[in-house]
Chains A and B, each alone.
Chain A
Amino acid sequence: NAGVMQNPRHLVRRRGQEARLRCSPMKGHSHVYWYRQLPEEGLKFMVYLQKENIIDESGMPKERFSAEFPKEGPSILRIQQVVRGDSAAYFCASSPDGTNYGYTFGSGTRLTVV
């Protein structure tokens, strides 16, 4: 039973390009959360999604960032026109039912903007 799979593990983008980060939840999990970890900081919540629905996006920057979790396929975190300040580790977590019992994190995608 594979865990939460994130890819790519490392992503380098030039300023102004787009970054797409993928997250495949654990089998049977239909709730996905995205977090961002800036250097020397803890993780900050970004967005909570269920299949085809955004439940809570209170942590998402207002511009350039979007997330989706389609009926089929992985959840995608998309960052348009990246800037150096977007450089961070992005972690995805999944849960079978949105409760705190089965929260599992992936290994993260480390985005570097050059």
Chain B
Amino acid sequence: AQSVTQLDSQVPVFEEAPVELRCNYSSSVSVYLFWYVQYPNQGLQLLLKYLSGSTLVKGINGFEAEFNKSQTSFHLRKPSVHISDTAEYFCAVMRGSQGNLIFGKGTKLSVKP
């Protein structure tokens, strides 16, 4: 069975500092990987996704993630965060090109001035 582990439930960081949100997955088959962001009382917005090709994926709002097959990881990074990045971030996997997403429990990013 597939699972997604987000190692940090909360990450506090100061404005303009770099941040990395960690995500590990388990799967015996090829997967597609996603990061979503959820602002308070809103739905999920896709930040970026890895389907194939280059292992470094660039997304919206200056975020990027690197797919590491040997470590089964898909960590999200941003070199300099803003107050407006304060939100909850979810890592998700999908097996194959169709079907449902399996989500991690989320990481709450809190950016302080």
Contacts and interface: CB of A to CB of B under 8 A. Distances in A.
B63 interface: no
Given A33-B100, A43-B103, A45-B101, A100 B43 contact: no
Interface in A79-114: 91, 98-101, 103-108, 110
- A: contact size bracket: 20 to 34
Given A43-B44, A91-B43, A56 B100 contact: yes
Interface in A52-100: 56, 59, 91, 98-100
Given A99-B98, A100-B98, A41 B43 contact: no
A105 B44 contact: yes
B79 to A, nearest CB: 26
A113 B25 CA distance: 34
- B: contact size bracket: 20 to 34
Interface of B: 4, 32, 34, 36, 41-46, 49, 51, 90, 92, 94, 97-106
Given A42-B105, A100-B97, A108-B43, 20 more contacts: A33-B100, A33-B101, A35-B101, A41-B105, A42-B104, A43-B44, A45-B102, A48-B99, A56-B99, A59-B100, A91-B44, A99-B97, A100-B32, A100-B51, A100-B94, A101-B51, A104-B46, A105-B43, A105-B44, A110-B41
Interface of A: 4, 6, 33, 35, 40-45, 48, 56, 59, 91, 98-101, 103-108, 110
